[in-house]
Amino acid sequence: METMPHILVVDDDREIRDLLARFLERHRFRVTAVRDGREARRAWPTGHFQLVVLDLMLPGEGGLDLARWMRSQGDVPIVILTAMGEETDRIIGLELGADDYVPKPFNPRELLARMRAVLRRTADRTGRRTDDAAALRFAGWTLEPARRRLLNPEGVEVPLTGGEYDLLVALVERANRVLTRDMLLDLLRGRQAGPFDRAIDVAISRLRRKLEDDGRQAQLIKTVRGGGYVLAADVQRA
């Protein structure tokens, strides 16, 4: 018998928790629903969750802080719930490595579709883990997928957020190809960018700083006018 994925729902609205629990259980998910960060931390050690649905507007510990803590504990995918129009939260969520976001109010069926897409991508990444173990070298830098870390030309590790790491992998694996913002968001989160969504631009800017790539005269991650971005380097797989 197929094991039901265990989902952690974190939302302080009791109606939303109850609605999601009933809806997801009807679609063959096991659900643990909690109201805040304290209850989420209490459930975490024994939950063995496959995915987290996380509201950012929580009492006490905020959702972004809780997402940052969850990322430090492991690579469980996170779908964040944000208030409509809160672009800053979406950008920060992407930087933290959230796998998708859904604005409130939301349709449970849309959330379900997003969750299933995230779980499929997670399964695909797990299946490719052996192939991805080889180090990737470009312009003196080394990306080690097995350890999810970046080394500079001197061999010193450069810390990356989850979003920065995922974005760099997407660029490195498609070096010398122009990737539009929509393509990058689709590769990273399985969705298309909205007309005012600057998440990719902000993440590119931060990633350039980590790679010591001057934004105005960037030579490594180049901006293509009217197109998107391209990693202008040859990549070798060790």
- The dihedral region occupied by 48, where left means phi > 0, alpha psi between -120 and 50, and beta the remainder, is left
Residue 218: helix, strand or coil by DSSP? coil
Q: Residue 134 corresponds to which tokens in the numbers above?
A: 């080889």
The answer to whether residues 185 and 192 touch, using CB atoms and an 8 Å cutoff, is: yes
Per-residue pLDDT at 49: 93
* Tokens 């459930």, residue located: 43
pTM of structure: 0.62
The residues facing 138 across adjacent strands are 141, 235
pLDDT in tens, 92-131: 666 666 778 888 888 999 999 989 988 887 776 554 543 4
23: exposed, middle or buried (Cβ count in 10 Å: 0-12, 13-18, 19+): middle
Find the length of the chain. 238
